[in-house]
Amino acid sequence: MAGDLLSFSLLCLSSIIIIVNPLGATLIYVSLTTNLEKPVKVQIIRDACTIALIILIVVGLAGTVILQVFGISLEAFRIAGGILLFGIGMEMVYAKTSRTKLTATEKYESRDNEDVAVMPLAIPMIAGPGAITTTIVLANEATGMSTLAWLVIFASIGIAIGITYFMMRHADYIIRKVGQRQYRVINRMLGMLLMAIAVQFVITGIKTAFPLMGGS
């Protein structure tokens, strides 16, 4: 039981941090707030991280209900989520900003807009489709485990958002230290890890939906 909880904890922490991608969110934040005053930037960071945190916590709590309302099995959602995460990971490997996180139109429209905290920073940059999908899948897995599993999910969300908040607050320093080349290297490594997690989601979903394929 302890081993399962430890594995689940590592999966939660790694998958949520990777899909939120604090470094990528920080670079987008910098590009959208270049001409704003520091107090405005600080408020944007607080609002974006708070809204993203609330969204992921609500999704985590209501994930099971959402699937039940739409009549979607966990296995189907896990496979679909794995495919989505695999696509995001592929774009990360090719050093691109995933279109599920930020489209060119959204970035262009936000350049002269001070109200970027909700859109596109909180949604979909931080709490995007990938993060929401991952949270719902993990929440449904935690249903059959102990209460600690739920605490692990919410702690992982809090850590991911906390890292994002910290990096945004220190964006100037990070930008000076992390150039585009270093960012591409880090992004590609995280993309490979995300693709591996996505493939595992799909494999687990297929084995559960079709037990004979898993040798059961």
22 lies in a domain? yes
Overall domain count for the chain? 1
Burial class of residue 68 in the structure, from the number of CB atoms within 10 Å of its CB (0-12 exposed, 13-18 middle, 19+ buried) = exposed
Tokens 């939906």 belong to which residue? Answer: 209
pLDDT per position as a tens digit, 23-76:
888 988 988 888 888 999 999 999 999 999 999 999 999 987 888 888 888 888
Cβ pair 124, 105 in contact under 8 A: no
What is the sign of the dihedral through the CA atoms of 163, 12, 182 and 29?
negative
pLDDT per position as a tens digit, 196-211:
988 988 998 888 888 7
Cβ pair 63, 140 in contact under 8 A: yes
27 lies in a domain? yes
Question: pTM of the full predicted structure?
Answer: 0.82
Which range of residues forms the domain containing residue 83?
Answer: 2-210
pLDDT per position as a tens digit, 73-107:
888 888 988 898 898 888 888 876 665 555 555 55
Give the mean pLDDT of 155-166. 97
The rounded mean pLDDT for the chain is 84
215 lies in a domain? no
103 lies in a domain? yes
What CATH number is given to the structural domain containing 99? 1.20.1250
79 lies in a domain? yes
101 lies in a domain? yes
Give the mean pLDDT of 102-113. 53
Quote the CA–CA distance of 50 and 53 in Å, as a whole number. 5
